[in-house]
Amino acid sequence: SVRRNRTVERMTEVFEFPGQSDVTRQACEWVARLDGAVLTEKEKRELRVWVSRSDFHREELSRLAEQWDQLGALAPLLETEVKETAEPARVRSANATWARVAAAALFLMLAGGGGIYFQQVHDLKETQSGNGVFATLVGEQKTLDLPDGSHVMLNTDSRVEIAFNRARREIRLLAGEAHFDVAHDKAHPFVVLAGKSAVEAVGTQFAVRLRSDEVKVIVDEGRVRVTPASTAEKAAPLLEARQQLISAGRGALINASDGAVESVDAEDIAKELAWRDGFLVFDNDPLSEVVDEVSRYTSIQIIIADPELRERPVGGSFRIGQTEAVLASLKQGFGLQVEEIEKGVFYISKDAE
């Protein structure tokens, strides 16, 4: 029988970014904790997660720890105060404090927090609040409210890096798919980097999906400027010679290897964006593509046992997360046999005649 997958029910949540003051306050708390007792394993994990949220988190911790170090001149006064009050407290040297912070940083890097590092802050104004990496789990969807009034909806198993600065509003799509509802601001271009391509919006709504072999762009309002430049992933200036404008109701497929751009029919736009309303829509799509799409939202493994079935056309509308309904439809409406050969693994084959 078909097992209901209860762990991948569709979830949608709104995430509001913390302001710089919140990050600074949290950094102060971490510096104080690092100067206190030895961190527990749980605290070490929490610190690793906190530091990895963004460059600003790392920079604030580094800056405040440095300032703490510069307070070393006050140590004699503190020692005098301790002696006079006869309190059983210890005064740690500022050098010991910074050594403890550095040791914590080393621990983070050695413990698998690759990419975590400390650096000097040159101009905090260059880093806007809300910068960082945000992700969704398999079967999860999340909406991010950006500081400029824009909104980003992450689809299942997706990851973006928000990197706003004085010059432009930049977002890197690191994995999966996201829809962008962009607040109009001519002075600060809104650019999405996906693989080797860049998509620049002008007060618009559009979706970008990153695959290993291509980048798909769907525009449902306004216009976007697509640049399939090999240097786009390095945030280089957009190259006018290779730019293409994509208007509302249109889309584009950008080949990852050669940057070739292929137009997407307008009639497919609604189907492509149905995930935003919690649905998967298929219209005579090959069974192999249906299985691939459904598999994005579940931990269940679906295998097409008979290769000749891969091109079998399938149509229908299914709510995201209801894998049971999809499998039941394939069995009842399309004459296919669906068998759970082991827990969480389903085989699709021809129905026995």
All structural domains of the chain with their residue ranges: 19-125, 130-269, 278-350
CB environment 33-69: b (16+ within 10 A), e (fewer): ebbeeebeeeebeebbebbbbbbbbbbbbbbbbbebb
Q: Give the confidence band of 115 by pLDDT, cuts at 50, 70, 90.
A: very low
For the stretch 89-114, pLDDT in tens is: 333 344 444 445 444 444 443 334 33
- pLDDT at residue 29, rounded to an integer: 73
- pTM of this structure: 0.62
Does residue 85 carry a pLDDT above 60? no
> Is there a contact between 173 and 194 (Cβ–Cβ < 8 Å)?
yes
| Higher-confidence position of 193 and 89 | 193
For the stretch 293-324, pLDDT in tens is: 999 999 999 999 888 899 999 998 999 988 98
Extract the tokens encoding 271.
């189907």
Give the list of residues 6+ apart from residue 64 with CB closer than 8 angstroms, or none: 24, 27, 28, 31
E strand intervals along 5-80: 11-16
How does the average pLDDT of the chain come out, rounded?
73
Q: Count Cβ atoms below 10 Å from residue 347 Cβ, excluding itself.
A: 16
Q: What is the helix (H) or strand (E) element at residue 69, kind and residue range?
A: helix 55-70
- pLDDT at residue 333, rounded to an integer: 83
* Domain range 278-350, its CATH number among 3.40.50.300, 3.55.50.30, 3.20.20.140, 3.90.1150.10: 3.55.50.30
- As a whole number, mean pLDDT of residues 139-143 equals 92
Q: How far is CA 240 from the centre of its chain?
A: 28
Does residue 77 carry a pLDDT above 50? no
- As a whole number, mean pLDDT of residues 274-282 equals 92
Give the range with max mean pLDDT: 108-112, 118-122, 157-161, 235-239: 157-161
Q: Do 130-269 and 278-350 show the same overall fold? A: no
For the stretch 214-268, pLDDT in tens is: 999 999 999 998 888 654 444 444 444 467 888 898 888 888 877 788 877 766 7
Give the list of residues 6+ apart from residue 146 with CB closer than 8 angstroms, or none: 17, 130, 152, 162, 164, 169, 183
State the CATH architecture for 130-269: Sandwich (2.60)
- pLDDT at residue 126, rounded to an integer: 33
E strand intervals along 195-351: 197-201, 205-210, 214-221, 223-227, 244-247, 250-255, 261-264, 279-286, 301-304, 313-319, 336-342, 345-350
